[in-house]
């Protein structure tokens, strides 16, 4: 593992994106979000998703580099907005939605922004924590995905891994839970299948049996076509079926999808093997003020006191949701981001396509 400066990687990624026809402002914002995920150790949603979420999507017609998202809200007297992303880069339109929802919440006490005809935005925690950065607002972010999940009790894939992320500020920082509604994000499986290593967690094969063997699939495409992610609570098939535990993840994923239908129109099966506009999904952003009962300082202190009480009942190994990622971010900023040789190889291949020299490490 070699370490690389976040700024160096960000500039490299932004240049690759820009050379695929994306305006410099959007390219810079997208690179910022991707590298921010890497800083936190969320490599499954970082620069190694540059090809899948940006470069290949542009080539296949799923992302329009010059798209101009539109506010199509019917009644602006409510603190709710509806944005037609028009196929824009998912990270770019998401950052705009964050700015919009923060303004709504600061003015009205609460705000919500629905985004549809969108591409995936990467790591949800980047956006929910941006909502909280001034410590005036709490935030929640969701996103639908391609249909790679068999609902609990079902026989075929229909739901996405449909991420949900919730952040609450306190005096010393921000507590964030960022999770798929499956036992893990699909990008972790994709990374393992591409590299040919053991799957980091069980998935269902074509016979709907649990497996961690990469040999169960001929590759990523085979998994996307014939495999399935496991809904949250559904691991350990026999016990999960006895307890109906798989309804937890299935229920959360379903509600995220139904809410997206309220804000962006009916939701249907999204073929993970499809290209272009057939892969578009929805994003949702919520924010609310924390100073509606107590002053902002009092509210922050109440949360801090609650955090202290929770931590008093745990040992040194107990971390708050999001604390592990924050510690990793601090380390990455100080020492550089530790990328594997394969990660850098893939990034350099994308750079070579647009005439860039290989990335230089920080040591």
Cβ neighbour number for residue 315 with a 10 Å cutoff:
6
Helices in 19-89 by DSSP H: which ranges? 24-39, 50, 56-59
Q: Which residue has the tokens 């980091």?
A: 200
Q: How would you list the strands of the sheet with 163-170, edge to edge? A: 70-71, 80-84, 110-118, 281-289, 137-143, 163-170, 173-179
Q: Token pair of 77, please?
A: 């007297």
Sign of CA dihedral 184, 189, 191, 195: positive
Sign of CA dihedral 70, 287, 180, 122: positive
Q: Token pair of 150, please?
A: 């068999």
What pTM did the predictor assign?
Answer: 0.94
pLDDT attached to residue 245? 80
Q: Kindly report the CA angle at 149 between 326 and 325, in degrees rounded to 5?
A: 5
CB 121, CB 91: distance < 8 Å: yes
Q: Which residue has the tokens 């499986």?
A: 189
Q: Which residue has the tokens 């995220």?
A: 256
Residue ranges per domain, the chain? 1-59+338-363, 63-183+229-309
CB 252, CB 182: distance < 8 Å: no
Please state the φ and ψ torsions of residue 297, each to the nearest 5 degrees: -60, -40
Q: What is the CATH number of domain 1-59+338-363?
A: 1.10.1530.10
pLDDT attached to residue 356? 97
**Per-position pLDDT tens, the chain of length 363:** 899 999 999 999 999 999 999 999 999 999 999 999 999 999 989 998 899 889 999 999 999 999 999 999 999 999 999 999 999 999 999 999 999 999 999 999 999 999 999 999 999 999 999 999 999 999 999 999 999 999 998 889 999 999 999 999 999 999 999 999 999 888 888 888 988 899 999 999 999 899 999 999 999 999 999 999 999 998 776 666 667 788 999 999 999 999 999 999 999 999 998 888 999 999 999 999 999 999 999 999 999 999 999 999 988 889 999 999 999 999 999 999 999 998 999 999 999 999 999 998 876
pLDDT attached to residue 314? 86
Are the folds of 1-59+338-363 and 63-183+229-309 the same?
A: no
Is residue 192 packed enough to be buried (19+ CB in 10 Å), middle (13-18) or exposed (0-12)? buried
- Our measurement of the distance from residue 117's CA atom to the centroid of its chain's CA atoms, rounded to an integer in Å, reads 17
Fold of 63-183+229-309: Ribosomal Protein S8; Chain: A, domain 1 (3.30.1370)
Q: Tens digit of pLDDT for each residue in 38-79?
A: 999 999 899 988 998 899 999 999 999 999 999 999 999 999
């Amino acid at each position: 593992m070699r370490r690389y400066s976040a700024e160096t990687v960000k500039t490299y990624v932004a240049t690759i994106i820009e050379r695929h026809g994306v305006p410099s402002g959007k390219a810079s914002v997208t690179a910022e979000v991707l590298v921010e995920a890497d800083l936190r150790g969320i490599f499954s949603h970082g620069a190694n998703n540059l090809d899948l979420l940006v470069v290949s999507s542009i080539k296949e017609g799923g992302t329009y580099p010059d798209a101009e998202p539109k506010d199509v809200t019917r009644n602006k007297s409510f603190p709710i907005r509806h944005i037609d992303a028009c196929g824009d880069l998912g990270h770019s339109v998401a950052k705009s939605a964050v700015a919009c929802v923060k303004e709504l919440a600061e003015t009205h006490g609460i705000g919500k922004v629905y985004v549809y005809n969108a591409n995936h935005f990467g790591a949800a925690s980047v956006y929910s924590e941006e909502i909280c950065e001034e410590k005036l607002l709490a935030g929640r972010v969701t996103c639908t995905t391609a249909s790679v999940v068999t609902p609990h009790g079902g026989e075929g894939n229909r739901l996405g891994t449909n991420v949900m992320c919730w952040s609450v500020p306190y005096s010393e920082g921000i507590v964030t839970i960022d999770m798929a509604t499956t036992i893990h994000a699909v990008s972790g499986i994709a990374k393992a299948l591409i590299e040919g290593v053991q799957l980091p967690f069980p998935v269902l094969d074509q016979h709907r049996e649990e497996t961690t063997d990469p040999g169960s699939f001929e590759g990523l495409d085979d998994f996307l076509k014939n495999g399935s992610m496991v809904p949250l609570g559904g691991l350990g098939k026999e016990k999960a079926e006895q307890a109906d535990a798989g309804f937890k993840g299935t229920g959360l994923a379903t509600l995220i999808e139904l809410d997206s239908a309220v804000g962006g129109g009916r939701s249907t099966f999204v073929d993970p093997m499809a290209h272009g506009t057939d892969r578009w999904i929805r994003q949702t952003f919520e924010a609310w003020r924390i100073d509606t009962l107590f002053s902002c300082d009092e509210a922050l202190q109440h949360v801090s006191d609650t955090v202290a009480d929770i931590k008093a009942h745990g040992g040194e190994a107990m971390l708050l949701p999001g604390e592990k990622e924050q510690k990793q971010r601090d380390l990455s900023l100080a020492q550089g981001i530790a990328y594997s040789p394969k990660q850098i190889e893939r990034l350099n291949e994308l750079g070579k396509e647009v005439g860039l020299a290989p990335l230089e490490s920080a040591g």
